[in-house]
Amino acid sequence: MKILQGKVAIVTGASSGIGRASALLFAREGARLVVVARGEERLQALVSEITQAGGEAVAVISDVRDEDCAQAAVQVATEHYGGLDVAFNNAGTLGEMGPTPDLSLAGWRETLDINLTSAFLAAKYQVPAMRARGGGSLIFTSTFVGHTVGLPGAAAYAASKAGLLGLTRALAAEFGPEGIRVNALLPGGTDTPMARAMNGTPEAWAFVENLHALKRVASPEEQAQSALYLASDASSFTTGTALLVDGGVSITRA
């Protein structure tokens, strides 16, 4: 039996990278999906790929910074599929990078809005929908940056992603008695468009690979497998965790 059979799932940031790989995997494992992103063309292509393979998916083309986006995704899940069981809140940005004294306030706020405030807005609407189903699994994409490793020039990114861990733990404690599990996925280097943009030369890419104990970066599909674990009943006694899927970057010093 498919491990998400009968489940309804929201995946944000679904048009590329880890979000896209996770949406495809969740669909293959039986979930009915609401996929969320800003890029209409890529998101509709994802929906077509899922439906052509025999799955079910509906697109919500919106910006996770907007409260209307969070509300609409849950409304679509409820109206199309009858409820919500899983939410993988994966959308994120590197944001404005560089020396902290040079960061603009607008850049700081934009990074926090996309990476952290959007997670609060998502939970605000997802939790009541999961409560109505008698439980569920909420997942946020954080990172090792700001948790196990400090990187120069990444203050806004690190602060916003570390803030997700506090939110994860608070929600896990608050809603655990109602059967709602809340966890954070912390990827290491992963071969996504965002990572390629940040490390745009062969030398930079090789440097990043060497930081990891496995001496390589992950594929989006590898990260999707860990998201699937957190989404499924395989993790039924797992909540409030920061799940490092980082190829050993957090423990490597050579």
Q: Mind giving me the DSSP string for 200-243?
A: -SHHHHHHHHHHSTTSSPBPHHHHHHHHHHHHSGGGTT--S-EE
**Catalytic residue from among 81, 125, 157, 229:** 157
Q: Cα 102 from chain centroid?
A: 28
**125 included as an active-site residue:** no
Q: Is 106 helix (H, G, I), strand (E, B) or coil?
A: helix
CA distance 189 to 197: 12
d(CA 109, CA 124): 20
What does the alpha-carbon distance between residue 39 and residue 13 come to, in Å, rounded to a whole number? Answer: 9
**By CB neighbour count within 10 A (0-12 exposed, 13-18 middle, 19+ buried), where does 190 fall?**
buried
Half-sphere exposure in the Cβ direction for 244 (13 Å, CA): 13
Active-site residue list: 157
